[in-house]
Amino acid sequence: EITPFLMYLITDIPLPLGIITILCIDLGTNIVPAISLAYEKAESDIMKRRPRDPQRDRLVNERLISMTYGQIGMIQASAGFFTYLVIMAENGFWPSRLLGLRKSWESKNVNDLEDSYGQEWTYSQRKTLEYTCHTAFFVSIVVVQWANLIICKTRRNSFIQQGMNNWMLKFGLVFETVLAIFLCYTPYLNKGLNMYPL
């Protein structure tokens, strides 16, 4: 969730993911699935493993941090940026055109901003496109969270060996999907949250 802001600041592209959308992820779609992991049945080989040494073994170590922020975080960011760039390109703003565009994009006085094909965009049209990109980035993260939730069920066993018997996890998957649809498509609420139907 920090990479859209970093890219926004470093490359001067239009904002890929808004603050309200990040709050919807953190306080909405992320909560129930995260809690559902507490209801997960223990792995089958848990009693065969040696206990953790509290002096030497840490709950949060380099491996866990690199997995969450490095691997899973980058996959989520890549999925979000892919949809962002596809929607921008579908509307005439190729990735090369986005670089350094932020100042003109955000200016209310510029109502003739040209895209890659020479089509002119008003400020309100650009904001509609930007909010559509926020929504697409949000939905991409929700979809990747489905996979992440299933991957994080266990540390060693595959989810096929472990099974999908956790009713809370199933509820969490359905909940975050329904919530994402609700936030994107509910009249007036989606406009208040700066989310546009895809």
Give the pLDDT score at 45: 65
Give the pLDDT score at 198: 86
User: What tens digit of pLDDT does each residue of 6-52 get?
Assistant: 999 999 999 999 988 988 888 888 899 889 888 877 766 666 777 77
Give the pLDDT score at 10: 95
Give the pLDDT score at 4: 92
Give the pLDDT score at 127: 95
Cβ(1)–Cβ(16) under 8 Å?
no
pTM greater than 0.75 (yes/no): yes
Cβ atoms within 10 Å of 194's Cβ, excluding its own: 17
Region 122-144 average pLDDT: 95
Q: Pull the structure tokens for residue 29.
A: 């779609």
DSSP 96-160: HHHTT-HHHHH-TT---EE-TTS-EE-HHHHHHHHHHHHHHHHHHHHHHHHHHHHHTT-SSS-HH
Give the pLDDT score at 113: 95
Region 64-68 average pLDDT: 77
Q: Give kind and range of the element (H or E) at residue 79.
A: helix 73-90
Most confident option among 56-65, 69-78, 153-162, 172-181: 172-181
**What is the distance in angstroms between the CA of the first residue and the CA of the last residue of the chain?**
20
The amino acid at 142? V
